[in-house]
C-alpha cells in the first residue's frame, strides 16, 4: 500500500485517485488550489463532470498542499498544463530529494517550450524522480473501469517500473517506456491534431479526411520527435498513435469538440467557452510553432490549425492550402 498525494481535482485527477484508492488499495489524499472544490468533494463524494460516478469514502481531501506532498510515496500532478508551474512552486518546499513525482498533465509551456516534467524540475530544483503517465485514457472511461492501457515513462526505467506497479490493477494496464521526451511530445501535439480533425468533422468532411489528418498528423509529430532525439517506436505506441486516435475521434475529447465547433463557424473564443473545460491543444500551439521553427521541421497541419486559432484564418482557406501543397514523397 502506497501513500499518494494528488494535486488537482479535475476529472482526470479524480478518476485516477478513484482507481488508486478503489482498485489498487492505496491511501490517497487530494488537494485543490480552490478551497470550494475541497468542500464540495467532502460533502458530495461526486465530481460534477463525472455524473453517476461515486468517489470512494477512503479518499481524503486537504486544502493544505504541504499535507498533500509531505511523506508521500508518489505526488501526482493532475492540474491543467497552464497551472503546472504555479503548482510546482507551491509544492517545491515540501518535496524531498528522491521523491517520485508523476505528471499526468499534457502540454508544453508556451513561454519556455518546456514539457510538463521539465517545468516541474525547473521550479522544484531538487533531485526528484519524474515520470510522465500518458496514453489513450479519457477520464470518463477510466472512472467507470473500462479496459484502458497507459504508459509510465521515465529516463530511469526502474522508477517507471515502480509507478507501473503502483498504478496497474483491474482494468488499467500500464506499460513502461524510457523515452519520456517522446511520450510528452506525443501527449501535447496530439491535441493540436485533434483540433484539426474536429474542425474537419464540423465542416462536414468524411472519414477519408479524418484518416488522412490522423495519419499525416502523426507523421508531423514523429518528424519533430526525430529531430529532437526521441525514440521512433514511441510515436507508434500507446502514447503516440494510440492517444492521437482516441483524442481525435472520441465524444469525450475536448479538443475534438472545440475543433468541431470552429469548423461549424463558431469563433474560437466562443468554442472554448462552449466546451467549458480546458482545451489543451490551443494552449500548446505557441510552443508547437516555436519547436517546429527551432528544429526546422515542416508541420503543415499544425501550421494550419495555428492559422485558424491564432491568426483568424478561415478553416476552408486552410483546407485549400493543405490540399494544394506541392507534390512530395509520403515519407519525406
55, 45 Cβ separation under 8 angstroms: yes
Helix (H/G/I), strand (E/B), else coil: 29? strand
DSSP-assigned letter for residue 56: P
Catalytic residue among 72, 106, 181, 190: 190
β-pairing verdict for 3-7 and 27-31: parallel
**Residue 220: which residues within 8 A CB-CB, separation 6 or more?**
189, 193, 297, 298, 299, 300, 301, 302
Give the bridge partners for 115, in sequence order.
108
How many other CB atoms sit within 10 Å of the CB of residue 89? 12
129 is catalytic: no
- Nearest-Å Rg of the Cα atoms of the chain is 19
Alpha carbons 52 and 43: distance in angstroms, whole number: 15
With cell 508523476, the residue in question is: 102
**108 is written with which cell numbers?**
508544453
Give the bridge partners for 31, in sequence order.
7, 62
Alpha carbons 111 and 35: distance in angstroms, whole number: 28
**Residue 302: which residues within 8 A CB-CB, separation 6 or more?**
189, 192, 193, 220, 285, 288, 289, 292
CB environment 136-162: b (16+ within 10 A), e (fewer): bbbbbbbbebeebbbbbbbeeeebbeb
Q: Which helix (DSSP H) or strand (DSSP E) does residue 226 occupy? A: helix 207-227
Backbone angles phi, psi at 102, to 5 degrees: -105, 125
Please list the active-site residues: 190
Amino acid at each position: 500500500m502506497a501513500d499518494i498525494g494528488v494535486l488537482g481535482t479535475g476529472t482526470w485527477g479524480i478518476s485516477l485517485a478513484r482507481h488508486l484508492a478503489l482498485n489498487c488499495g492505496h491511501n490517497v489524499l487530494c488537494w485543490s488550489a480552490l478551497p470550494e472544490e475541497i468542500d464540495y468533494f467532502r460533502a458530495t463524494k461526486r465530481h460534477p463532470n463525472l455524473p453517476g460516478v461515486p468517489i470512494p469514502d477512503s479518499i481524503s481531501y486537504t486544502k493544505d498542499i504541504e499535507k498533500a506532498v509531505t511523506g508521500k510515496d508518489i505526488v501526482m500532478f493532475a492540474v491543467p498544463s497552464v497551472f503546472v508551474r504555479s503548482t510546482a512552486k507551491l509544492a517545491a518546499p515540501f518535496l524531498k530529494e528522491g521523491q517520485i513525482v508523476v505528471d499526468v498533465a499534457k502540454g508544453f509551456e508556451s513561454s519556455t517550450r518546456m514539457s510538463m516534467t521539465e517545468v516541474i524540475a525547473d521550479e522544484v530544483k531538487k533531485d526528484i524522480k519524474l515520470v510522465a503517465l500518458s496514453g489513450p485514457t479519457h477520464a470518463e472511461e477510466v472512472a467507470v473501469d473500462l479496459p484502458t492501457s497507459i504508459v509510465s515513462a521515465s529516463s530511469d526505467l526502474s522508477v517507471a517500473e515502480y509507478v507501473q506497479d503502483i498504478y496497474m490493477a483491474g482494468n488499467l494496464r500500464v506499460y513502461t517506456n524510457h523515452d519520456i521526451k517522446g511520450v510528452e511530445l506525443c501527449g501535447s501535439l496530439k491535441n493540436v491534431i485533434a483540433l484539426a480533425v474536429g474542425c474537419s468533422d464540423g465542416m462536414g468532411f468524411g472519414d477519408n479526411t479524418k484518416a488522412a489528418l490522423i495519419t499525416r498528423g502523426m507523421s508531423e509529430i514523429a518528424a519533430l520527435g526525430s529531430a529532437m532525439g526521441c525514440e521512433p517506436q514511441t510515436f507508434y505506441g500507446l502514447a503516440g498513435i494510440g492517444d492521437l486516435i482516441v483524442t481525435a475521434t472520441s465524444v469525450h475529447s475536448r479538443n475534438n469538440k472545440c475543433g468541431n465547433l470552429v469548423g461549424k463557424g463558431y469563433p474560437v473564443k466562443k468554442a472554448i467557452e462552449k466546451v467549458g473545460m480546458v482545451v489543451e491543444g490551443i494552449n500548446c500551439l505557441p510552443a508547437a510553432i516555436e519547436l517546429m521553427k527551432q528544429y526546422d521541421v515542416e508541420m503543415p497541419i499544425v501550421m494550419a490549425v495555428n492559422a485558424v486559432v491564432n491568426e483568424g484564418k478561415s478553416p476552408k482557406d486552410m483546407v485549400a492550402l493543405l490540399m494544394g501543397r506541392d507534390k512530395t514523397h509520403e515519407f519525406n
